Chain A
C-alpha cells in the first residue's frame, strides 16, 4: 500500500462543482488512468480517498488536498502527469508527495474575497466604517442550515481581517473558523457586516488560500 497526497487548484467553472461531485470526479479520473487504487473491503467496495477539508460551492481554491491509497505505484510523477492530462478543465494538480502522516485536524481557513459595494458611499468611507464596526466583542448574524436558523456571533471565529480599498472593489483577507465543528463561510461573514447605509456587498470572487490547523 502506498498513500499519495495530491495538492490541487479548483478554479474556473469548477468552482461550481460540489464537494461530493469532486469526489466522484477524482474516482472517475483514477478509473480512466487505470491506476491501481486500493479499495475498501466489504459489500460495496469503494476507493480510499480522503480530502483535507471540503470546500463550499462557488469558492475558488489553490490549496485543495486529497490523500489516495494505492496498492502499487510504479512512478509517482508519471502517475501524477497521467492524471493531470485527463482531469477536466479547472482542476489542476500543483504537487504530489508521499505524506508522512495523515491530515491533521484543520480548524481555520484563509480567504481572499473581492467585493463590489452597492451602497451609495465611497469605498474609503466604507472601509473605515467597516473597521469601526469590527471593533466589538459581538457581531451576530443568522445562519440558516438544513436544521433551521441559528444566531451566531462571528467575532470569536474571526482570527484575521485586512480590508483594502481596491478602487472599484473592496478586498478582504480573512482567517475564519472552518471544518466540522465551526464553519463560517466568507459569505456569512460579509453578511454579518452588511449595513444598508455603507456596505451592500456584491461578491465578485472568493478564493481559499490556505487551510490552517
Chain B
C-alpha cells in the first residue's frame, strides 16, 4: 500500500516495526526523554546524529545539547538518527519521511535542523537524512519555507567539504554558543533566512558559508573572502571557560536497547597539555580545562540515581593527566563498590600508569588494558612528540602482567611523517617485546592466556595540527606497510588488527578538503553511499566512481601542502597560532621534542590559557 502522506510510516509505526531489526531504535519514549507540547515553543530543534541510534545515543555531545536546549522553556529539542537500511526501505516504499523520535515529526516541520558532525565518514549519511526528509541538499536551493540547517562538532574545524549544504556552523564547544544562537533565533523569528543569517554571522563561533567567496588557482585555494563588510574575516572557535560552571546533564536518556557506550560518562577535562603533533583534539581543545573532583562526584551520584547504569567511564583525552585522579578515583570507588558498579579508566598514559591505580579500579570487575605507543621506534615517537619511551611501555606492561592482566592491546599508527620501514618493523618488535615481559613474571603470579593485540590505523593529517601540511600515504602504501607488519609478527600470542585503508583514504580526502568536494558527496549519495563507518555499508568502489565522475583530484587532497599555502580552514581561529604549528612541524622533521604545557609553556597562543598567563608572569 502506498500513500502520499509523508507521515504514513510514523503514524502507523507498529505495523512496520515487526519487519525491522532492533525496532526499539525507532520508538522513542525512553526513560528521561523529554515531552513538551511542540506548538507552544518558539524554536523546534531537530538534533540529528548522522549514524544509527545506538551510536548517537552513546555520544556525550548529543546528551549535553539535548539537555541544555530542553532546559529552555521556549525551545523543544528532539532527536533524529539515521535509520538502518531495512527501515529506510520501508520509508521509501511508503513515500514517507524520516521523523523525530519524540513527537514523530518530519524534519521539514522543524525550525532548525542541527547535525552533530563528529567524523568525516558521516557526510554521506547527512545527505541521506536530508534526502529521506525531502529537503534539498544545497543551502541556496532551500527557500524560507525550509528549516535552517546547521552543524556542530569537530568536523566544523574544517567544514568546507560540506559548506554548501549548511546554512551555518557552530565552531567549538556547543554548550558555549548554543544559547546565544537560540536567543537570536527567537528574537528574529519570522524574518527572512538571509536577514537571520546576517545576524547569526556576528556571533562569535558562528560560520555562515554563503557569506564568503572562494576562488581557486588550479588545485589550490587562492582567495577566501567575506562578501560583505559586516562578515567577520575569521571565525573564532568557542571555548567553555569553566568546566565546573558548564552545563552537564545528569538525567540523560536511558535507551531501551544496548548502545555502544552503555554507561555513565564523566568528562574530567577538555583539551590536553601533551602536544602530540598528529592530534587535532589536543590543539582545538586548548587550553586544558579541568572539572573539579567535588563537581564530578556530585555529577556521578546524580547520574547513578537518574539512570541506574552499572558502569562509570571517565572521559578525556588523557585520563591519567587529571590533576586529582587519585582523589577522584577514591571518591568514585566509594560510590561504585557499594553498588557493585564498574569503573572504567580509558586513555591512560604509559608513563604515569601505576599499579596502585590499576588495583583500585579492578576491585569490582576487570576490564582490558590498552596502551598507545603510536609509533614503533623512539625516533618516530620523538618526531610526533609522543614523549613516551620503550622503557615506559615495558614497565607498564610488566606492571599489568604482575597485576593479573594477561591481555594488553597496543595501538599504533602507520604512515606518520618521516616513517621508514624500520619504524614499521619497530611496531612488530615492540609487540613481541611486550609479550616477553609476560614471561619475566613468575608463573605463580601471572594469569594464564597471554594475548597481545597490535592494532594499526593509517595516519590522517588533520587541520590545525603541526602535521596539517604533511602528505598521507597512499592506499597501496598502507596495504604494503600492513603486510610488512603481518609478516613480521610471528608469535602465536600476538593478534594483528588493522583499520581498513580505504576508509582512511576517504577520511583523509575530506579532512583537508574544500568546497569542491560537495559535488563528489552528492554523487556518492546518488550511488548509494551512506553509513560509511560500517563495513557492511561501506563500498569504496562507489566512492572511487564518484570521485572519477566529478573530476576530483584525490592525490591533491592527500598530498603535501606548502607552508605558504592558503588552507581551506585558515579562516577558523582556534587560538593556537599557525606560527606555532609551523615551528612544531619544523621541529618534528628534525626529530626534536617539545615539553608538555605543564613543564614548560611553548606559547602556542591558546585563548585564555592559565598556564600561559602564569608563565608569562614569571
Stretch of A84-92, A126-134, A191-199 that contacts chain B? A84-92
* Interface-facing stretch out of A18-26, A150-158, A161-169: A18-26
In the assembled complex, the Cα of A90 lies from the Cα of B340 at a distance in Å of: 28
CB contacts under 8 Å to A, within B1-32, are 14-15, 17-18, 23-24, 27-31
Contact mask for chain B residues 295-323; partner A; CB cutoff 8 A; 1 contact, 0 none: 00000000011111110000000000000
Candidates A17, A31, A45; contact of B257 at CB < 8 Å? A17
Which residues A1-55 have CB closer than 8 A to chain B? 12-18, 21, 24-25, 27-32, 34, 39, 44-45
CB distance from B448 to the nearest CB of A (A): 14
Rounded to whole angstroms, the CA-CA distance of A202 and B18 in the bound complex is: 11
B307 touches A28 (CB 8 A): yes
Bound CA–CA A72/B29 (angstroms): 32
B258 CB, nearest partner CB in chain A, Å: 7
Chain B interface residue count, Cβ-Cβ cutoff 8 angstroms: 27
Q: Are B308 and A30 in contact (CB under 8 A)?
A: yes
Nearest opposing residue in chain A for B32, CB measure: A88
Instruction: List residues of chain B with CB within 8 A of the CB of A121.
Output: none
Contact B340 A45 (CB under 8 A): yes
Alpha-carbon gap, A29 to B257, bound state (A): 14
Partner of A25, one of B15, B256, B304, B341: B256
Q: Decide yes or no whether A179 CB sits under 8 A from chain B.
A: no
Whether A31 contacts B24 by the Cβ 8 Å rule is no
Q: Does A183 count as interface, using CB distance less than 8 angstroms?
A: no
- Contacts A24-B258, A31-B304, A58-B18: A16 and B27 contacting too (C-beta < 8 A)? yes
Query: Which B residues touch A205, using CB under 8 A?
Result: 14
Chain B residues closer than 8 Å to A76, beta-carbon distance: none
Known contacts A17-B256, A45-B340; is A32 also within 8 Å of B306 by CB? yes
- B600 CB–A CB distance under 8 Å: no
Residues of B within 8 A of A58 (CB): 14, 17-18, 23
Answer yes or no: A203 CB below 8 A from chain B CBs: yes
Partner of B29, one of A13, A21, A30: A13
In B114-154, the 8 Å CB interface with A consists of none
CB distance from A133 to the nearest CB of B (A): 24
Chain A hits for B305, CB < 8 A = 32, 34
Q: Is the CB of B29 within 8 A of A89?
A: yes
Distance of B305 from chain A, by nearest CB (Å): 6
State the CA gap A88–B15 with chains docked (Å): 22
Using C-beta atoms within 8 Å of the partner chain, give the interface range for chain A: 20 to 34
CA distance A141 to B305 in the complex (A): 49
B339 at interface, CB cutoff 8 A = yes
Contacts of B433 in A (CB 8 A): none
Instruction: Annotate A63-88 by CB proximity to B: 1 below 8 A, 0 otherwise.
Output: 00000000000000000000000111
Chain A residues lying within 8 Å of B28, measured Cβ to Cβ, are 13
Complexed CA–CA distance, A17 and B24 (Å): 6
Which residue in chain B gives the minimum CB-CB distance to A16? B23
Contact A21 B256 (CB under 8 A): yes
Asked if A125 is at the interface (CB within 8 A of a chain B CB), the reply is no
State how many angstroms separate the Cβ of A208 from the closest Cβ of chain B.
Answer: 15
Nearest B residue to A32 by beta-carbon distance?
Answer: B308
**At the interface, yes or no: A212 with Cβ under 8 Å from chain B?**
no
How distant is B308 from chain A, measured CB to nearest CB, in Å? 3
Residues of chain A with a CB closer than 8 A to B360's CB = none
For B257, the chain A residues whose CB sits under 8 A away are: 17-18, 21
Are B15's CB and A13's CB within 8 A? no
Is B256 within 8 A of A27, CB to CB? Answer: no
Q: Cβ of A12 and Cβ of B365 under 8 Å apart?
A: no
Tell which of B27, B254, B257, B308 has the most Cβ of chain A within 10 Å: B308
Cβ-defined partner of A57 (8 Å) among B23, B31, B364: B23
Pair B258/A13 contact, Cβ less than 8 Å: no
B17 near A16 with CB under 8 A, answer yes
Chain A residues whose CB sits within 8 angstroms of the CB of B340 once the complex forms: 39, 45
Does A21 contact B308, Cβ atoms closer than 8 Å?
A: no
Please measure, in the bound complex, the distance between the C-alpha atom of A28 and the C-alpha atom of B308, giving whole angstroms.
4
Residue from the set A30, A86, A205 with the largest chain B CB neighbour count within 10 Å: A86
* Beta-carbon contacts under 8 Å, B28-67 to A: 28-31
Q: CB-CB < 8 A to A13: which residues of B?
A: 24, 27-29
Known A17-B256, A45-B340; judge A88-B307 contact (CB<8 A): no
Cα A186 to Cα B15 in complex, Å, equals 16
Complexed CA–CA distance, A32 and B27 (Å)? 23
State in angstroms the CA–CA spacing of A1 and B308 once bound together: 22
Contact A88 B31 (CB under 8 A): yes
* Closest B residue to A28 using CB positions: B308
A89 partner residues in chain B, CB cutoff 8 A: 29
Q: How far is the CB of A143 from chain B (nearest CB, A)?
A: 16
Residues of A within 8 A of B27 (CB): 13, 16
* A16: B residues at CB distance < 8 A: 17, 23-24, 27, 256
6 closest Cβ pairs, A-B complex:
A28-B308, A31-B308, A13-B27, A32-B308, A16-B23, A88-B31
**Apart from A28-B307, A28-B309, A34-B339, what are 10 other A-B pairs with CB-CB below 8 Å?**
A13-B28, A17-B256, A21-B256, A28-B310, A31-B304, A32-B305, A32-B308, A39-B340, A44-B365, A45-B364
A-B contact pairs, 10 of them (CB 8 A): A14-B256, A18-B24, A21-B24, A31-B309, A31-B310, A45-B340, A58-B17, A88-B29, A88-B30, A88-B31
Residues on B lying within 8 angstroms of A by beta carbon are 14-15, 17-18, 23-24, 27-31, 254, 256-258, 304-310, 339-341, 364-365
